[in-house]
Structures are given as structure tokens and as C-alpha cells.
Amino acid sequence: MRSLILLSLLFLSCAKENKTEKPTLVAYKITKSITYNHVNVDVIIDKPALNEVDVLITYHGTVQSDSNILPAAENTLNQFKNILYRQDMMIVSVAHPQLNILFGDNINQAEAALLWVKYSANQELGIKVKKIFLAGHSQGGYLVTRLNTMHETNGVIANAPGPLNLVFRCQLEENGKTPASYVCNKLRNVYGTTTANANAYYQRSLLNFTKGFKSDILFVQGLNDEAIQMYSWPTFKQDVLNCTSCKNRQFVEIVGGEHGSLFESPTAKNEFNNFINNH
């Protein structure tokens, strides 16, 4: 009898030692340097206390200094987090570069971040990624729109995406009608003026990326945005609507809204959340 009791105690002890412990549910916010296909980029990761998560990857707008890239990514993360009704999504904000490259070449870092979330985040963070959404503001909206021609996700949201038309924008600068920018200066140094080489500028404009959307996309645009944006907005919208090789496209235009309408308009916020919840 004593032997049976000892064997039972030994069995229970072994069973307890071999029992698989559940992973600890931890919330955190970290900055991480990631690499995918030999492309490096910094991201800020805001993870809820869950190990299975839908992910919102966000992309910031234009900055004027390299020192502003991480703060811009932080600000963009907070902007989207503040309008997101759900608290169970992980947000990955991408600190994509801008100043030492030609406009549009940061699509490489933008893509690397998306592919890292798709194929590497599970292992590196010890989580299970479920759905993936892309969201961008201004130049970040430009990037997520382009990414939607390259990779399938669960959905894309672009607020005031641009520049829509670099030919128009840079020509204004050449004619002295608007202040010079590093974007057009760098393009001019490589391609010459818009008059001499308009096609090179057009190839990098968002007007050139209105077809082949692989996922449903929501565009938000304030109709009281800057004149440079609104000059080409009707053309861009019509080109997107004319696409015959695109997934669903939705436009939310805010009368009186300005460049940050997604973060300011209750209507836009509701449409943003409805889009995510319905996908």
C-alpha cells in the first residue's frame, strides 16, 4: 500500500513538472530595429496584453529632418490609437526614411515592415498575428496605397494620400509660386526640370498608382485641404473608381475638412472603425 502511495505521488510530481505553462500575457511598447530581405527600418510596437492579435501597421507623413522620423512615427501611432475603438489590436508604426533618398524610394522600407509583420513577427515577438491592416496619413497614405498594389492584406486606409501629382507640385516650385522643398530639389538634381522630364516625376506620383489594388481600401479626404492636394484629387478619385482590376474602393470626403480629417471628423472616425470591423 505504501508503495502505491509513493508511486502515485511520484506520478503527480512528474505530471506537474511536464505540464506546459501558458505564455504570460504582457502589454508593452518598444522601439525595434527590424530587417527583412536585407532592408532595415525602425518600428514602434504597441502590443496589448494578448498573444493572438490583429495588427494595424501605420505610416507617418512628411518630416523636415531625420531627427523627426521616430517622433513622427510615435505621433502617428498615437493618432491612430486615439481613434481606434478597439483595444485588442497591436499597432506597428513604421519610421520610414525620407530625407536622404529620392521621393518614393522609401517604399522599400515600407514594404520591409509589412513583410516582417507577415512573416517574421510571430517568431521574433512570440505572438500569433491574425489580420493585418495598413493605415497611413499624407505621405504615409501614399505609401499604403502603393503597398496595396504590391501585397494583399485585410484592408488599407489612406488619409489625404499624396503627393498626388509631383509634376504639378514641383512645377509650382520651379516657377516660384510655392516655396522650394527637399522633395522637388532632389528630383530636379537627378531628372532635371518637370518641363525637361515630366514623365520621371509622374512615375513617382500617386496618380501613377491607381490600378491593381489587391485589398479593399478606404480613402479619407478633407475637401478644404491645401490647394496642391485638391488640384489633383478629382482626377485621382476618378482614376481609382475607373479601375477594373481593383478590390473594393471606398471614398469618404469631409466637407470643410482639412488635411487631418481622419483624426478630426466623427464621420471619418466611424468609417475608419467600421472598415476595420467589417474586414
Instruction: Please state the domain extents for the chain.
Output: 25-165+205-277
Long-range contacts of 150-153 (CB under 8 A, 24+ apart): 150/111, 150/214, 151/111, 151/114, 151/115, 151/118, 151/214, 152/214, 152/215, 153/114, 153/214, 153/215
User: What percentage of the chain reaches a pLDDT higher than 90?
Assistant: 88
What is the grid cell recorded at 214? 489587391
Mean pLDDT, to the nearest integer, of 157-162?
98
DSSP annotation of 160: S
Indicate the range of 24-28, 83-87, 103-107, 228-232 predicted with least confidence.
Answer: 24-28
What is the helix (H) or strand (E) element at residue 191, kind and residue range?
helix 182-191
Tell me the average pLDDT across 222-233: 97
Residues 3-53: pLDDT tens digits? 444 444 444 444 444 444 455 689 999 999 999 999 999 999 999 999 999
Per-residue confidence at 161, pLDDT binned at 50, 70, 90? very high
Q: Average pLDDT of 264-269?
A: 98
Identify any residues that bridge with 252 across adjacent strands, giving them in sequence order.
Answer: 220
Residue 102 has pLDDT above 70, yes or no: yes
pLDDT of residue 20: 44
Distance separating alpha carbons of residues 205 and 239, to the nearest angstrom: 13
Whole-model pTM: value is 0.91
pLDDT band at 112 (very low <50, low <70, confident <90, very high): very high
Q: Is the pLDDT of residue 217 over 50?
A: yes
Q: Report the distance separating Cα 115 and Cα 148, nearest Å.
A: 13
At 65, the pLDDT band (50, 70, 90 cuts) reads: confident
Distance of CA 177 to the CA centre of its chain: 32
Give the lowest-confidence range in 17-21, 47-51, 88-92, 175-179: 17-21
Dist. CA 12–CA 257, nearest whole Å: 66
- Confidence at 99, pLDDT banded by 50, 70, 90: confident
In this predicted structure, the answer to whether residue 91 has a pLDDT above a threshold of 80 is: yes
pLDDT score recorded for residue 23: 55
Q: Give the pLDDT mean for 229-248.
A: 97
What is the average pLDDT value for the chain, to the nearest integer?
92
Q: Of the ranges 11-20, 211-220, 264-273, which one carries the lowest mean pLDDT score?
A: 11-20
Cell 520610414 locates to 96
| The pLDDT of residue 64 | 84
Out of 16-25, 202-211, 226-235, which region has the weakest mean confidence (pLDDT)? 16-25
Second CATH level (architecture) for the domain 25-165+205-277: 3-Layer(aba) Sandwich (3.40)
Question: What's the confidence (pLDDT) of residue 4?
Answer: 43
